[in-house]
C-alpha cells in the first residue's frame, strides 16, 4: 500500500482498522467511481431550470409598476414643457426619461423622441457635452454606430467630462470591431476602478476572446455595483455575468446568476430571457421555454422573441410554426422605425432564405455602420449565396479570420469553407463554433454536427 492510498484509507476509520481483502478494496474504489460518475452524469444532464424557482418572476406586477412610474415622470415633464417649450432643463429631463423608457419597454418611438429633443438641444447649445453624450448613447442603443461615432467625437472635442466621453467612444470602437484603438483609449484613462470602466474592460476582454479574464472583471463590476446599492445596476450586471457563465459552459452557474439578478430586480427581463434560453438550449424543454417567452411577449412588443420562438418551433419539427414566427420577425424587425436595430439577425435570416436584393442593401449598410468582422462574415455569406465563392473566401481571409472570437463568425465562415471544399479549414472553424453550441443554440448545433459529419 503506498502513501497516498494509506492517507486516503486512514481517513475512513472503518477501513484502516479492519483488514479487508484486496478484491473488496478494488470493488470499493470501483463503487466510488461508479457512484461519482453516476452523480456527475445525472447532474450534467438533468434539467437546470426549475419551474417553481422561475414562476415567481413570471408576473407582470413589478414590471408594470416600473413602467407606470416612468410614464408618470414622463407626463410630469411633458406638462412642464408645454408651459415652456424651449426650457433646456425640461427637455433634457424628458429626453433622458424617454431613453430609459425605451430601455425598459423596447418601444423604439421613445428612442426617436429622445433623439429629436437632444438634437434640438445640441443645435442650440453646441458646447454642452452631455447632449452629445446622450445622442451618442442613443445612437448606440439604436445600432447607428456611424452616427454614434460622430457624436462621441463631438463630445470629445468639447473636452469637458472627458472620462465619460472616452468610455462612450470605447463602446463605439468595440461595436465597430476596432479593438486596438479601444484598448489604447481605455488604458489611458485615470480612474480604472469605476463600474463604468470595469464594464468596458469586460467587453474588451470578451472581444479579445479572453472569456476568463472578462468574467474576472465582470465579477469585480458586480461587486462594484453592489456597493452602489442601485438594484437595477446590480441586476443588469448580474444578468450580463449570467450570460458570460453560459458562454463559458457553466450553465448551472449562469442560471443561478440570472435568478440572483431577478432577486434584485424582478423586471430584469434579460435575465428571464436568459433562463428561457437555458430551458431551450440546455434542458431541451421547449414547452417551458415557450411559456417563459410568452410571458416576456406579454410585456414587451419587440421582434426579438419571435426569433427565439422560430428556433424552438424548428427544434420541435413544427415547420409551419417556425415559418410563421420567422415571417413575423422579418415583418416587425424590417419596419422603418427600427432603423438599423435588427440588421444582423435580419440579414442572417434573409440569407438563410436565399434572398438577394434585401441582404445586398442591408449587409452594405451594416458594414457602413460597423465594419466589424461579423458584418464582413455576413457579406461573405451573401457573396457565397450569389455563387461568388472566391470573393466570399477573400473577404473571410482579409476581414474575419483571426480578427474576432464571435461564435457566429466561426459558424458562418466554417459553412462557407465547407461548401467550397476547404475541408481542413472548415473542420477547424466548425469545431470552434461547436464549442459554443450552447450560445448558438440547438438548431445551429444540429447543423454544425451534420456539417462536420459530412466533411
Partner 1 sequence: MKNPKRYLLLGLVLGALFLSSCEKDNDFNPIENFLYQQEDQMARPAINTVFVSSNDKDAFNVTPPSQQGAAFASKFNSRLLALNPNYTTNALGLDAATFTNVLATDVLTVATQQPTTFFDGTNVLTGRRLDDDVISVELLLIFGGPDGTANPGLTDDNVDANDKAFLNTFPYLASPH
- The footprint of partner 1 (CB under 8 A) covers 1-2, 4-5, 8, 22, 25-26, 29-30, 32-33, 36-37, 39-40, 43-44, 127, 129, 158-163, 190-191, 193-194, 219-220, 222-224, 227, 245, 250, 252-253, 256-257, 260
What's the closest the beta carbon of residue 198 comes to partner 1, in angstroms?
Answer: 9
Residue with smaller CB distance to partner 1, 89 or 319: 89
User: Quick one: 3 or 180, whose CB is closer to partner 1?
Assistant: 3
Residue 206 CB, nearest distance to partner 1 (Å)?
A: 18
The least distance separating partner 1 from the CB of residue 156, rounded to whole angstroms, comes to: 11
Distance (Å, whole) CA 169 – CA 179? 12
Q: What is the nearest approach in angstroms of partner 1 to the Cβ of residue 34?
A: 8
Q: How far is the CB of 221 from partner 1 (least distance, A)?
A: 9
Q: Which is nearer to partner 1, 40 or 51 (CB)?
A: 40
Residue 374 CB, shortest distance to partner 1, in Å, is 29
Comparison of 256 and 328: residue with beta carbon closer to partner 1? 256
Among 367, 322, 311, smallest CA distance to 344 is for 367
Closer CB to partner 1, 144 or 205, in the complex: 205
Give least dist CB 127 to partner 1, A. 6
Q: Between residues 250 and 323, which has the closer beta carbon with respect to partner 1? A: 250
Residue closer to partner 1 (CB basis): 216 or 427: 216
C-alpha cell recorded at residue 105: 419597454
Q: Nearer to partner 1 by C-beta: 29 or 51?
A: 29
Q: Which is nearer to partner 1, 45 or 68 (CB)?
A: 45
Q: Which is nearer to partner 1, 3 or 61 (CB)?
A: 3
Cβ 247 to partner 1, closest distance in Å? 14
Listed residue (181, 142, 186) closest to 165, CA to CA: 186
CA–CA dist 250, 246 (Å, integer): 5
Distance CA(89)–CA(111), nearest Å, equals: 18
Least gap, CB of 212 to partner 1 (angstroms):
14
CB of 415 to partner 1, least distance (A): 31
Amino acid at each position: 500500500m503506498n502513501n497516498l492510498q494509506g492517507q486516503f484509507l486512514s481517513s475512513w476509520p472503518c477501513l484502516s482498522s479492519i483488514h479487508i481483502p484486496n478484491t473488496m478494496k478494488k470493488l470499493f474504489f470501483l463503487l466510488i467511481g461508479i457512484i461519482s460518475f453516476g452523480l456527475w452524469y445525472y447532474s450534467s444532464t438533468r434539467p437546470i431550470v426549475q419551474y417553481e424557482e422561475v414562476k415567481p418572476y413570471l408576473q407582470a406586477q413589478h414590471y408594470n409598476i416600473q413602467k407606470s412610474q416612468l410614464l408618470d415622470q414622463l407626463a410630469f415633464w411633458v406638462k412642464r414643457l408645454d408651459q415652456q417649450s424651449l426650457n433646456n432643463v425640461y427637455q433634457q429631463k424628458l429626453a433622458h426619461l424617454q431613453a430609459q423608457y425605451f430601455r425598459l419597454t423596447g418601444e423604439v418611438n421613445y428612442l426617436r423622441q429622445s433623439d429629436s429633443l437632444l438634437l434640438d438641444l445640441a443645435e442650440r447649445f453646441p458646447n454642452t457635452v452631455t447632449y452629445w453624450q446622450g445622442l451618442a448613447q442613443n445612437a448606440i442603443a439604436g445600432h447607428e454606430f456611424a452616427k454614434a461615432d460622430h457624436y462621441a467625437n463631438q463630445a470629445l472635442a468639447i473636452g469637458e467630462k472627458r472620462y465619460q466621453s472616452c468610455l462612450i467612444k470605447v463602446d463605439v470602437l468595440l461595436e465597430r470591431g476596432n479593438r486596438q484603438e479601444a484598448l489604447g483609449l481605455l488604458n489611458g484613462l485615470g480612474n480604472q476602478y469605476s463600474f463604468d470602466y470595469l464594464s468596458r474592460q469586460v467587453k474588451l476582454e470578451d472581444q479579445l476572446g479572453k472569456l476568463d479574464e472578462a468574467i474576472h472583471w465582470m465579477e469585480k463590476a458586480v461587486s462594484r455595483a453592489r456597493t452602489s446599492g442601485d438594484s437595477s445596476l446590480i441586476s443588469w450586471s448580474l444578468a450580463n455575468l449570467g450570460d458570460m457563465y453560459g458562454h463559458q459552459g457553466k450553465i448551472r452557474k449562469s442560471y443561478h446568476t440570472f435568478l440572483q439578478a431577478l432577486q434584485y430586480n424582478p423586471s430584469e427581463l434579460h435575465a428571464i430571457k436568459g433562463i428561457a434560453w437555458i430551458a431551450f438550449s440546455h434542458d431541451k424543454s421547449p414547452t417551458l421555454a415557450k411559456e417563459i417567452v410568452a410571458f416576456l411577449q406579454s410585456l414587451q412588443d419587440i421582434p426579438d422573441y419571435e426569433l427565439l420562438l422560430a428556433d424552438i418551433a424548428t427544434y420541435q419539427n413544427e415547420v409551419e410554426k417556425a415559418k410563421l414566427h420567422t415571417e413575423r420577425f422579418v415583418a416587425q424587425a424590417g419596419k422603418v422605425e427600427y432603423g438599423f436595430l435588427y440588421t444582423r439577425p435580419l440579414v442572417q435570416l434573409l440569407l438563410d432564405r436565399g434572398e438577394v436584393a434585401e441582404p445586398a442593401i442591408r449587409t452594405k449598410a451594416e458594414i457602413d455602420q460597423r465594419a466589424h468582422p461579423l458584418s464582413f462574415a455576413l457579406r461573405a455569406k451573401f457573396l457565397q449565396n450569389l455563387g461568388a465563392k472566391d470573393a466570399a473566401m477573400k473577404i473571410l481571409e482579409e476581414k474575419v479570420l483571426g480578427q474576432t472570437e464571435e461564435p457566429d463568425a466561426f459558424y458562418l465562415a466554417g459553412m462557407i469553407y465547407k461548401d467550397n471544399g476547404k475541408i481542413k479549414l472548415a473542420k477547424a472553424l466548425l469545431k470552434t463554433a461547436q464549442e459554443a453550441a450552447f450560445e448558438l443554440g440547438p438548431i445551429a448545433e444540429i447543423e454544425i454536427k451534420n456539417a462536420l459529419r459530412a466533411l
